């Protein structure tokens, strides 16, 4: 079957039979618009003849089906394919002799993103045409093409908790292609559609990392030894702007100094907040700020319960446990907000702040929630000065908890921002009780481990 006089379309045909009402399977995507010259260069065929299969010789040609090929094929007529940038790989169709004096079918594979189409360049006594071998795609005689105009999103920190969550969330959207950025691509080759080397400490690596990207998600690691967070983020913003990135999403935190009027000094919060202005002034078509919460995961990680002097297991922190002050969440769900922002720039691409908040609790509420699930945790409020001397970096953590107590984690009434974030994410984040039931160690095992 072959549909006649319909431009810019794929058409189905079978053997030599003609059918003007043959179904149209798919138009070629605008993403194919590029130079065609490099796409088809036949070189020498099996018989030693020189072939130059350029666009002008494919133009307006009717696809040819050799008798004896029983499988349906798809032809291309006056298509934008003639201007496409595609990758062509040589091969030889099984079942044909190597030397064909009058019929020469040169198999190729068209590759564009994840779309892979086997095709044949056919030279029938100089009458050049192009056809696509449908049998190699679908024996059931249906052609399925994947969209090729996916927006490329580059994700910084793709192996970390935030970046990894973003990669996974973006992969659930059909309109995005993910470029995972990591210092060691060979170690994480399956992480994204593309895995590219990038290091925020080496700004020269960011040019290639952001090239061709529609969007960039950026998170920095303030705890990395020797890292200057503002300097790294500034270099990334500049590289993204130079690369023509349209949508920039920055993982920030509240500006503790501004919120507290300079009373509290929490550099790992305020340092990120200082980057906000740089992002705003860069002039991206769209930009979004996401705010990570106090991770639920902290309570089984860096702030896991410890055995106390009185023999109990729990927490000793410089915080009034009766004050509801902590905006919390499962950090693996941050990706839902980021992916939603990329998908809905009209709603969340104009400098909106989108915090992830699964729960808002005081520490006594955290303890009560866990103990109702069978645990027997305790809490002891300790002076700020005592906590500050317990380990390196404890002084800043003590200051952070005092800031929470005075202003809450987010520092202001953020209900509207939380509501927008949940709308953009397309779902409600997990409550602490539900998360803890799955992730906290079984009470009996936890008791044994603490002894």
| CATH code, domain carrying 158 | 3.40.50.720
Give per-residue pLDDT as tens, 290-329: 999 999 999 999 999 999 999 999 999 999 999 999 999 9
Confidence of residue 4 (pLDDT cuts 50, 70, 90): very low
Instruction: Classify residue 144: in a domain, yes or no.
Output: no
DSSP 14: B
The per-residue pLDDT for 225 is: 77
Residue 75 or 115, more confident:
115
Shared-domain flag, residues 414 and 299:
yes
Residues 103 and 219 in one domain: no
Give the residue with greater pLDDT, 147 vs 200.
Answer: 200
Which tens digit of pLDDT belongs to each residue from 28-58? 332 222 222 333 333 333 333 333 332 323 3
Give percent of the chain with pLDDT exceeding 70: 65
In a domain, 407, yes or no: yes
pLDDT band at 443 (very low <50, low <70, confident <90, very high): low
Same domain? For 48 and 166 the reply is: no
DSSP character for 181? Answer: E
29 with 165, same domain? Answer: no
Structurally, the chain folds into a number of domains equal to 3
d(CA 232, CA 32): 35
Q: What is the pLDDT of residues 205-245, one digit of tens each?
A: 999 999 999 999 999 998 787 779 999 999 999 999 999 99
Contact 270, 255 (CB under 8 A): yes
Distance separating alpha carbons of residues 250 and 368, to the nearest angstrom:
35
136, 166, 184 - which closes a domain = 136
Query: Is position 312 within any domain?
Result: yes
User: What domain range includes position 23?
Assistant: 9-136
Alpha carbon distance, N-terminus to C-terminus of the chain: 77
110 and 180 belong to one structural domain: no
Residues 238 and 384 in one domain: no
Strand 127-132 relative to strand 73-77, pairing: antiparallel
For residues 154 and 298, membership in a common domain is answered with no
User: Across residues 369-388, what is the average pLDDT?
Assistant: 96
In the numeric block, the tokens 């919120």 are attached to 259
Strands 306-307 and 313-317: antiparallel
């Amino acid at each position: 079957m072959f549909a006649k006089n319909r431009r810019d379309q794929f058409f189905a045909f079978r053997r030599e039979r003609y059918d003007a009402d043959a179904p149209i399977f798919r138009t070629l995507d605008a993403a194919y618009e590029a130079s065609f010259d490099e796409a088809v260069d036949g070189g020498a065929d099996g018989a030693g003849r020189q072939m130059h299969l350029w666009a002008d010789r494919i133009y307006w040609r009717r696809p040819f089906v050799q008798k004896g090929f029983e499988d349906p094929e798809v032809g291309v007529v006056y298509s934008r394919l003639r201007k496409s940038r595609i990758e062509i790989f040589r091969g030889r169709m099984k079942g044909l002799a190597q030397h064909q004096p009058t019929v020469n079918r040169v198999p190729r594979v068209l590759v564009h993103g994840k779309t892979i189409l086997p095709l044949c360049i056919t030279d029938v006594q100089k009458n050049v045409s192009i056809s696509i071998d449908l049998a190699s795609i679908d024996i059931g005689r249906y052609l399925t093409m994947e969209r090729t105009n996916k927006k490329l999103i580059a994700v910084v920190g793709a192996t970390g908790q935030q970046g990894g969550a973003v990669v996974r969330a973006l992969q659930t959207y059909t309109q995005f292609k993910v470029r995972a950025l990591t210092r060691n691509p060979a170690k994480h080759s399956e992480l994204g559609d593309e895995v590219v080397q990038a290091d925020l400490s080496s700004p020269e690596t960011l040019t290639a990392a952001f090239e061709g990207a529609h969007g960039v998600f950026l998170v920095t690691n303030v705890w990395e030894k020797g890292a200057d967070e503002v300097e790294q983020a500034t270099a990334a913003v500049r590289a993204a702007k130079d690369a023509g990135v349209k949508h920039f999403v920055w993982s920030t935190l509240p500006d503790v100094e501004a919120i507290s009027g300079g009373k509290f000094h929490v550099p790992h919060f305020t340092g990120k907040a200082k980057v906000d202005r740089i992002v705003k002034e860069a002039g991206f078509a769209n930009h979004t700020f996401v705010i990570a919460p106090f991770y639920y995961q902290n309570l089984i990680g860096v702030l896991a319960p410890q055995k106390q002097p009185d023999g109990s297991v729990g927490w000793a922190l410089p915080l009034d446990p009766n004050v509801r002050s902590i905006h919390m969440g499962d950090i693996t769900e941050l990706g839902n907000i980021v992916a939603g922002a990329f998908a809905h720039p009209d709603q969340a691409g104009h400098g909106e702040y989108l915090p992830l908040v699964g729960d808002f609790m005081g520490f006594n509420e955290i303890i009560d929630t866990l103990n109702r699930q069978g645990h027997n945790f305790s809490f002891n409020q300790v002076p700020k000065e005592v906590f500050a001397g317990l380990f390196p970096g404890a002084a800043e953590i003590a200051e952070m908890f005092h800031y929470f107590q005075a202003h809450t984690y987010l520092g202001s009434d953020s209900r509207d921002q939380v509501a927008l974030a949940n709308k953009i994410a397309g779902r409600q984040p997990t409550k602490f009780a539900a998360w803890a039931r799955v992730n906290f160690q079984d009470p009996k095992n936890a008791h044994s481990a603490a002894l």
